[in-house]
Amino acid sequence: MEEFTQRQKKIGGILQQDLAEVLQKAATDGGLRGVIISVSKVNVTTDLSVAKVYLSIFPNKEAKALLEGIKSNKPLIRHELAQRTRHQLRRMPQLEFFIDDSLEYIDGIERSLKGEEDPIENPDLLGKRKKS
């Protein structure tokens, strides 16, 4: 388990809030109505050079395509963030984007507990979860 300093937590919180606004604005300006992009977590490295951004995208079927679009527009997103945080950060960390699958995983567990799907009969339902 990683330990985070107060500085890392503060920068992660600032980036999380600003990234959520930037990504949601870009989605609505890009004509994607009904798509919700939320930033569930931002982990910043100890040297503050890299920020791992975990995104939850609803509806889920749009997630892969949107993630590719976000990754291709990474320089523009980073520039917009740098403009918003220019009085708080000297350098903008490199951004790495990932899909946060925790909601899907929890939903699968709930379905199993309700008896809708039985993971004992079909072990592929609750597949191995990747460690982040």
Superfamily of domain 6-100: K homology (KH) domain (3.30.300.20)
**Tokens 């000297």 -> residue:** 90
Rounded distance between C-alpha atoms, residue 31 and residue 117, angstroms: 37
The pLDDT tens digits of the residues spanning 59-104 come to: 788 788 888 988 999 999 999 999 998 888 889 999 999 998 877 7
Could you tell me the pLDDT band of residue 1, with boundaries at 50, 70 and 90?
very low
Q: Which tokens belong to 63?
A: 């997630």
Token readout for 115 is 């008896």
In Å, what is the CA distance from 131 to each residue of 9, 57, 101?
20, 19, 11
- Residue ranges of the domains in the chain? 6-100, 102-132
pLDDT at position 74: 93
